[in-house]
């Protein structure tokens, strides 16, 4: 059986000029798959509010990380902010 679990992707913010309250420069964000957003030149990002929103894709540089780092990041994102 094929694994249908979606693996979160990650991107680094390289521009927050229109969204300074929502995005931090050089921070790693989780990217959620959204084909419709991608077709429009956007990217679905979990931002500082911990909600997902659409942002211009050119505000981010998508990155591929080694699996051990992905596991650690996913674990840290799952923890409440106060416990980090």
- Residues 11-60: tens digit of each pLDDT: 999 999 999 999 999 999 999 999 999 999 999 999 888 899 999 999 99
The answer for residues whose C-beta is within 8 angstroms of residue 39's C-beta and 6 or more apart is none
Residue 28 makes CB contacts below 8 A (sequence gap 6+) with 10, 11, 12, 63, 73
Identify the burial level of 71 via C-beta atoms within 10 angstroms of its C-beta, where 0-12 means exposed, 13-18 middle and 19 or more buried: exposed
CATH assignment of 9-78? 2.30.30
Say if CB 24 and CB 13 are below 8 A apart: yes
Work out the pLDDT band at 4, boundaries 50, 70, 90: very low
């Amino acid at each position: 059986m094929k694994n249908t679990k979606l693996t979160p992707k990650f991107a680094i913010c390289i521009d927050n000029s229109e969204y300074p309250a929502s995005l931090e420069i050089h921070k790693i964000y989780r990217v959620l798959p959204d084909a419709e957003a991608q077709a429009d030149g956007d990217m679905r990002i979990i931002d500082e509010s911990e909600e997902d929103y659409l942002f211009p894709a050119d505000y981010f540089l998508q990155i591929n990380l080694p699996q051990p780092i992905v596991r650690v990041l996913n674990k840290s994102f799952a923890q409440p902010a106060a416990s980090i």
